[in-house]
Chain A
């Protein structure tokens, strides 16, 4: 049992993080807290991708000219990192749009508590 957690500590902790993110989005009634949960969820998925690239005893994927034949097992897979740069951009933009909408909500209703806003509708 302990060994399972030690061997898969990255996946276990990321699952917990994903759970926290979902909990924040679903259960919290404050809109900013929902947004925080959303950011945690996005960050945990980005980390999950990075974990998929990991290999034992591998180094950064920079190959110098003249190294000759390349053994792919010696290098970390660079593709997930490149992809996650894009995903980070997406999550930053999403947060930006979300905060802009929340500013509008606050101006219209004077509150960011879901209950208050729904009460005024």
Chain B
């Protein structure tokens, strides 16, 4: 049975989430308590299938799955190659851990709305997995919109301000989706195909035509807006700050990364050599906007006093790193960008989970009020925070070091010193804002009156375990990054990019 299942992994993973979302609505409407176990069970199943799919792909090569028996280029195909298989596993795995972690939070933050929350979460994860797996540009649009719509819903159920922030996010997100669709229309007019593999074959012949160029620029602008690339990042900090803890922990690590992954696909695998042809500015623009975003996000993160808001601004900076890798348009850039997508998903998830733990235990995540009593209370959460923060700064042997290392190698290889300087300066800025928190956690003495409280008050086990797992994953990814690069990323490079 197991061996019959795996060749169908590309369709089973997104379908499991979508069916799970419907089941969550139908089955648990009157039993909100069952929603969380159901969501966890569905994501555990999807994670297992995704892992099996990855093993299968590595052993037997790419799976091309034709939906409804329509042959591509007309029909939609799902493509599970080493890269998309691994990212599917990442999306499903991060989703699983965050949903486990959400058990005590959601009933407290969103009483009575568990069913809606978990249904939207599953829809989000289904959209993300589908987005990563699809081999069709229009299908990509549909999955992007599924992801965005469930993000609006998730971020809209939070604090009093949340609906307004979510509406602003919705306006920006819809503009982005419309730009993408408009660009796709221009491309389709000239190429007559929406299939990615087919399109990649046609590109060399049409790359110099004006409608195609306009289309590509519109399409990439739309994706940049969805992924909050500087200067199109304005919607992100408010939406993340006002959303619930779990919603942010789901959307920040993997939600915006999805648009970046789509951008990576479009640039490296569809445009390929045309991306860096003479006079093509696209890659340069992406790289320099990425660099600007890195600096801008880091500067603003430094001046924030609320942990979630600081993390939101640092997300703007992290998106910049990935965009910089995409814009380098070289082997090192590609490896750096993909590794950073993976690493940042784990780092940010870990940090947002810690902020959730803080809100659960000490009921705030306001940085100036944090001192060493918090560390004594929650040693595991704070240890996980430290590992993730060290990784954000980029010190070996944590994962963050290696993605930055590849990006830096890429800039040195091309002699682009401005980009290298922005990477290095941002490392310093990251160090500034995280070391400030370290100082408070480890050195600032507990204030008067805080000593009377019991010393041990760690968050519930279901919250601590996922947090610690992410921290351990960061070390594992750091130490094992050579395996990832050799087995997953280098084979991809041979096929597509220049």
Asked if B181 is at the interface of the complex by the 8 Å CB criterion, the answer is yes
- Asked if residues B182 and A45 are in contact (CB atoms below 8 Å), the reply is yes
CB <8 Å contact, A105 and B171:
no
Does B177 interact with chain A (Cβ within 8 Å)?
yes
A-chain residues with CB within 8 Å of residue B177 when the two chains form the complex: 90, 94
Name the prevailing secondary structure of the A interface residues: helix
Residues of A within 8 Å of B156, CB to CB, are 97, 100-101, 104
Within 8 A of B (CB), among A91-109: 93-94, 97-98, 100-102, 104-105, 108-109
Partner of B185, one of A31, A52, A90: A52
Answer yes or no: A75 CB below 8 A from chain B CBs.
no
Q: Is the CB–CB distance between A93 and B149 below 8 Å?
A: yes
* A-chain residues with CB within 8 Å of residue B181 when the two chains form the complex: 45, 49, 87
Complex: A40 Cα to B74 Cα, angstroms: 29
Chain A minimum-CB-distance residue to B162: A104
- A101 touching B142, Cβ below 8 Å: no
Interface size on A, residues (CB 8 A): 31
The residue that B149 contacts in the complex, of A83, A86, A97, A108, with Cβ under 8 A, is A97
- Is residue B166 within 8 Å, beta carbon to beta carbon, of the partner chain? yes
Interface pair B182/A101, CB less than 8 Å apart:
no
In-complex Cβ contact of A42 among B74, B141, B174 (8 A): B174
Residue total for B at the interface (Cβ-Cβ under 8 A):
27
Task: Tell me if B198 counts as interface (CB < 8 A to partner A).
Answer: no
Q: Is B142 a contact of A41 with CB atoms below 8 Å?
A: no
Cβ of A60 within 8 Å of any chain B Cβ, yes or no, is no
Count of A-B contacts judged by CB separation below 8 Å:
80
Measured CA separation A97–B156 after assembly (Å) = 10
Question: Residues of B contacting A83 with CB < 8 Å?
Answer: 138, 194
The answer to whether A34 touches B171 (Cβ under 8 A) is yes
In the complex, which residues 111-170 of chain B have their Cβ closer than 8 Å to any Cβ of chain A?
138, 141-142, 145, 149, 152-153, 156, 160-161, 163-164, 166-167, 170
Contact status B185-A48, CB under 8 Å = yes
| A2 in contact (CB, < 8 A) | no
Question: Does any Cβ of A come within 8 Å of B366's Cβ?
Answer: no
Provided the pairs A79-B74, A102-B167, A108-B163 are in contact, do residues A90 and B145 lie with their beta carbons within 8 angstroms? yes
B149 to A101, Cβ gap below 8 A?
Answer: no
Name B145's contact: one of A48, A94, A108 (CB within 8 Å).
A94
> A25 to B170, alpha carbons, bound, how many Å?
11
- Chain A residues with CB below 8 A from B188, complex form: 49, 52, 80
Whether A101 contacts B189 in the complex (CB less than 8 A), given A48-B182, A90-B177, comes out as no
Chain B contacts for A109, CB-based, 8 A: 164
Chain A hits for B194, CB < 8 A:
83
Which residue of chain B is the closest to A46 with respect to CB atoms? B181
Closest B residue to A104 by beta carbon equals B163
A66 to B177, CA, bound (A): 42
Q: Is A27 an interface residue (CB 8 A)?
A: no
Q: Within A25-44, which residues are at the interface with B (CB < 8 Å)?
A: 25, 31, 34, 38, 41-42
A117 at the interface (CB under 8 A from B): yes
- Nearest chain B CB to A20 CB, angstrom units: 13
Chain B residues whose CB sits within 8 angstroms of the CB of A31 once the complex forms? 167
Instruction: List the interface of chain A (C-beta within 8 A of B).
Output: 18, 22, 25, 31, 34, 38, 41-42, 45, 48-49, 52, 79-80, 83, 86-87, 90, 93-94, 97-98, 100-102, 104-105, 108-109, 117, 121
* Contacts beyond the supplied A94-B174, A101-B167, A121-B161: 16 A-B pairs with Cβ under 8 Å: A18-B182, A38-B171, A41-B175, A42-B178, A45-B181, A45-B185, A48-B182, A49-B188, A90-B177, A93-B149, A94-B145, A94-B149, A94-B170, A97-B149, A98-B170, A100-B156
Closest 3 CB pairs of A and B: A104-B163, A101-B167, A90-B145
The contact sample of 6 A-B pairs, CB cut-off 8 A, is A22-B175, A41-B174, A45-B181, A86-B142, A102-B167, A117-B164
